[in-house]
Amino acid sequence: MVKKGIKDRVAIIGVGCTKFGENWELNAEDLLIDAVYEAYKDAGIKDPQQEIDAGWVGIQYYFTGLAGCTLADAIKLYGKPMTRVENFCASGTDSFRNACLAVASGVCEIALATGVEKLMDEGGAGLPGFREFGHPTLPLPSAPAMFSMAATRCMHEFGWTKEDLALVAVKNHQNGVHHPKAHFRKAVDLKSVLNAPMIADPLGRFDCCAMSDGAAAVIITTPEIAQSYNHANDFILVKSNALAVETMAPWYKPSFGFTSFTSTVKAAKMAYHEAGITNPRKEISLAEVHDCFTITELINVQDLGFCAMGKAAEELRAGTFNADGELPVNPSGGLKCFGHPIGATGCRMIYEVTKQLQGRADGIQVKDPKIGLTHNLGGAYTVASVTILGKNEK
């Protein structure tokens, strides 16, 4: 399955992230430059022109930026390989994946992985672009509707209720209160979640993540070169990064059950194999998973092997996934609190887990984590990317 792999061959030496939210006064350039320069500072990069060999930027929308120059022009770093990466909502992690491969292959010594999205300029009622995208006449459900179809089926098969979904929002909003870079830093109660207006039945407004602007950046190198930068003693190692792409039209696939996302299952299998993880529930200390909608988190934790099929709601109620639980899921507050500037989210997850493993989380610090996981999901559960990060145990 995984051939040579990248395990322990790539080190994260610096991370940066803007405040996510309605950044009306900032454009994509502002967001990128803020995230990248925070990462430079974190790593100890002093002369980017000399030190950075290549860059990637994850962007979903053409109006945020086209081509590699979106990154090059923002930070005025010219004459180097710069690439725009698009893979739906997993664009950010795919930007990181490409950078990792470049470092592991030896083509680059220090690489920059970034992601950015400027959604608020397009107005706030759901993701833009659904007029232009896809086949002219075949139905195209909105993003909430895509995941809502899975919610309807899970409720039918597992007996989950709207309250089970709502509890995901309650948990993640409780976590987000503590994170200075979150879009929303307000706890919500069950009643408000349940009484919110419908977006795509059974998902109400609080079941959906918000439209936001933001950017995040990650600087990676080899473990050897990492020794000469700021985090020489606590750089983070990439244990694995796997990407699995399935169909954009699962509603045409007769065998698809709408209770599990095949892309996540396959990406997790590859990532666990390479990282040598056999019991994710026990071995993983924390996970930032793609909670674009409350139902998504419930399905994700099952697909990632954190609990048995159909048991996610039960485990959630038991506190398993709380920030102080057995396996903290989205201690940052997740997409529920950060919103989802498409291209940025994957790199933000790497940012969160890196800082958690280094014991310097912005929000709630998980107790003594060893291994962290990020899970980024895009399209109609089409593209899934799973990354395993670990401390550099000497």
Partner 1 sequence: MIIGIERYGAYLPKYLLERKLIAEAWDFPVIPGGISVRNYDEDSITMAVEAGLDCLGEYDPNGIINTSSIDGLYFATTTPPYTEKQCAPIIANALDLRSDIICLDITNSTKSMSLALARAYETIKAGKANKILIIGSDSQKPMPESMYEYQYGDGAAALLIGKDEVVVSIEDYVSTSDNVIGPWKRAEDKFIRSFEGKHENIYGYSRNIIAAFKLLFEKTKIDPKSIAKAAIYALDPRNAEALAKKLGINSRAVENTPFLEFGNTGNAFAFMTLMLALKRGKTGDLIAFGSYGDGADAFLLKILDKQKLRELRRKCRGIIGYKNSMVMLKNYGAYLSKKKIIETERFIRKSSPVRNWRDEKFLYRMYGMKCNKCGTIQYPIWRACIECGEKDNKTDIKLKKRGKIFTFTLDHLEGGNYYDTPVPRCVIDLEGGGRILLNMTDIENPQENVKIGMDVEMTFRFIHSGANYNNYYWKCRPIRVLRKEEEEE
User: Catalytic amino acids?
Assistant: 89, 340
Q: How far is the CB of 163 from partner 1 (least distance, A)?
A: 17
> By CB under 8 A, is residue 201 in contact with partner 1?
yes
Q: Which token pair is 264?
A: 């996540």
Q: How far is the CB of 255 from partner 1 (least distance, A)?
A: 6
Q: Answer positive or negative: Cα dihedral of 371, 214, 13, 383.
A: positive
**Quick one: which segment of 79-87, 107-115, 138-146, 356-364 binds partner 1 (CB under 8 A)?**
138-146
Can you tell me which of 55, 65, 144, 363 binds partner 1, judged by CB under 8 A?
144
> By CB under 8 A, is residue 153 in contact with partner 1?
yes
> By CB under 8 A, is residue 126 in contact with partner 1?
yes
- In a 10 Å sphere around its CB, with 0-12 CB exposed, 13-18 middle and 19+ buried, how is residue 291 labelled? buried
Nearer Cβ to partner 1, position 122 or 326? 122
> By CB under 8 A, is residue 138 in contact with partner 1?
yes
Q: How far is the CB of 165 from partner 1 (least distance, A)?
A: 13
Q: Answer positive or negative: Cα dihedral of 31, 33, 36, 40.
A: negative
Nearer Cβ to partner 1, position 235 or 381? 381
Q: How far is the CB of 85 from partner 1 (least distance, A)?
A: 24
Can you tell me which of 50, 136, 393, 394 binds partner 1, judged by CB under 8 A?
136
Please provide the DSSP assignment of 254-293 as one string: TT--SSS-HHHHHHHHHHHHHHT-S-HHHH--EEE---SB
Q: How far is the CB of 21 from partner 1 (least distance, A)?
A: 20
Nearer Cβ to partner 1, position 135 or 394? 135
Can you tell me which of 122, 283, 326, 362 binds partner 1, judged by CB under 8 A?
122
Q: How far is the CB of 62 from partner 1 (least distance, A)?
A: 13
Can you tell me which of 35, 90, 200, 350 binds partner 1, judged by CB under 8 A?
200
Give the whole-angstrom CA distance, residue 336 versus residue 332.
Answer: 10
Chain mean position to CA 340: 9
> By CB under 8 A, is residue 82 in contact with partner 1?
no
Q: How many residues bind partner 1 (CB under 8 A)?
A: 42
Return the SS3 of 145.
Answer: helix
Q: How far is the CB of 248 from partner 1 (least distance, A)?
A: 11
Q: Interface residues for partner 1 in 254-313 (CB under 8 A)? A: 254-256, 258
CA distances 223 to 188, 238, 387, Å, are 42, 10, 17
The sheet carrying 286-288 orders its strands as 82-85, 54-58, 111-118, 213-221, 11-17, 236-245, 383-391, 371-378, 286-288
> By CB under 8 A, is residue 27 in contact with partner 1?
no
> By CB under 8 A, is residue 121 in contact with partner 1?
no
| CA-based radius of gyration for the chain | 19
> By CB under 8 A, is residue 252 in contact with partner 1?
yes
Let me know: does 380 contact 88? Beta carbons within 8 Å: no
Which residues, listed in sequence order, are joined to residue 215 by a DSSP beta bridge?
116
**Quick one: which segment of 11-19, 245-253, 272-280, 308-316 binds partner 1 (CB under 8 A)?**
245-253
Q: Interface residues for partner 1 in 320-339 (CB under 8 A)? A: none
Return the SS3 of 13.
Answer: strand
> By CB under 8 A, is residue 149 in contact with partner 1?
yes
- In a 10 Å sphere around its CB, with 0-12 CB exposed, 13-18 middle and 19+ buried, how is residue 227 labelled? middle
> By CB under 8 A, is residue 199 in contact with partner 1?
yes
- In a 10 Å sphere around its CB, with 0-12 CB exposed, 13-18 middle and 19+ buried, how is residue 125 labelled? exposed
The alpha helices in 44-142, defined as continuous H runs, are 48-51, 69-75, 91-105
Can you tell me which of 77, 101, 127, 225 binds partner 1, judged by CB under 8 A?
127
Nearer Cβ to partner 1, position 153 or 185? 153
Q: How far is the CB of 252 from partner 1 (least distance, A)?
A: 6
**Where on the chain is the footprint of partner 1 (CB under 8 A)?**
122-123, 125-132, 135-142, 144-145, 148-153, 156, 198-203, 247, 249, 251-256, 258
